[in-house]
Structure 1
Amino acid sequence: MKKVLMALVVLLASLQTKAQILEPVHWSYAAKSINAKEAMIYIKASIDNGWHVYSQNVKDGGPVKTTITFAPSKAYTLIGGTTEPKPITRMEKAFGMDVSFFETSVIFQQKIKLNAGQTTVTGKLEYMTCNDQKCLPPAEIAFSIPVK
């Protein structure tokens, strides 16, 4: 009976290991006041070794580009678009085209005008990540960033 129980425990442990979800991108958020009326929102992707996340500026027909959508609010107004650093651009055989992406980490920035003293900026981001062997399905996550 002990052998059967032990075999069952080992089997369940191995199944649990197989069921883990692969998450090679880790997101973090921050806000910094520029002055009493403006702030900068920072959305950072920390990317596991060997993986990459695509730019906001990928042409149609390629991978899913990173898209950041801010929820409308009377407490703040977006100033311009969301900016990103210069990406790596190269031909990806899987898509048959040049694509722009980031490795290791990337910080997206959005300047806002504050219409209230304090607020919370909310929204969602959609992104896709790949390595040299495979791509994971696009993911969508919500964010909430306090601005003081």
Structure 2
Amino acid sequence: MKKLLLGIAVSMFSMAAHSQILKPVNWSYAAKRTSKTEATVFIKATIDAGWHLYSQNVKDGGPVKTTFTFPANSAYTVVGKTIEPKAITRYEDTFKMEVSFFEKTAVFQQKVKLKGKTAVVKGTVEFMTCDDKQCLPPEEISFSIPVK
């Protein structure tokens, strides 16, 4: 009986601890072939209400900007910079400066030149989110996007 009660207590504690973890941004991925040798990968951020995801174009001294990294790969090459949608730009007291950010959703696009019939585009995104009360530490997420 003591083991059962201990197990229930541990389960309740771990559920309570897990519910404290904030994850206000969910990422999803897709790819679309645009020609025999090119494709565009789409990296979508779905942002919880009240939270901001910051642009790739934030000046020094502000929040951590969203950064995409694509390591060298023999199956494809990255073409140009990652494109982002039009951001909201506003003065934020927290940073004492104007910052650019996204609310609700943001779809980033990256063109790639394919070296074969298929590829898996791999990389990471580093980002930071804030609401009107707090900022979360920067996070880095790995992704893997098949191009067929």
Q: What TM-score results when the alignment is normalised by the length of structure 2? A: 0.90
User: Which secondary structure state, in structure 2, belongs to the residue aligned with residue 61 of structure 1?
Assistant: coil
Unaligned runs of 5+ in 1: none
Name 1:102's counterpart in structure 2. 102
Distance 1:139 1:78 in 2: 23
Q: Cα gap change, 1:11/1:79 in structure 2, threshold over 3 Å: closer, same or farther?
A: closer
User: How far does the alpha carbon of each residue in 1:39-62 deviate from its partner, in whole angstroms, 9 at most, with x for none?
Assistant: 001000000111110000000000
Name 1:13's counterpart in structure 2. 12
Distance 1:81 1:126 in 2: 15
Deviation at residue 144 of structure 1 after TM alignment: 0.4
Equivalenced residues, count: 145
Distance 1:13 1:74 in 2: 48
Name 1:79's counterpart in structure 2. 79
Unaligned runs of 5+ in 2: none
Name 2:90's counterpart in structure 1. 90
**Which 4+ runs in 1 deviate beyond 3 A?**
8-12
Q: How do 1:18-97 and structure 2 match up within 5 A?
A: 18-20=17-19, 21-97=21-97
State the percentage of identical aligned residues: 57
Name 2:145's counterpart in structure 1. 145
Distance 1:139 1:102 in 2: 16
Q: Cα gap change, 1:110/1:14 in structure 2, threshold over 3 Å: closer, same or farther?
A: same
Give the CA RMSD over aligned residues. Answer: 1.9
User: Structure 2 counterpart of 1:16, which letter?
Assistant: M
Q: Cα gap change, 1:15/1:113 in structure 2, threshold over 3 Å: closer, same or farther?
A: closer
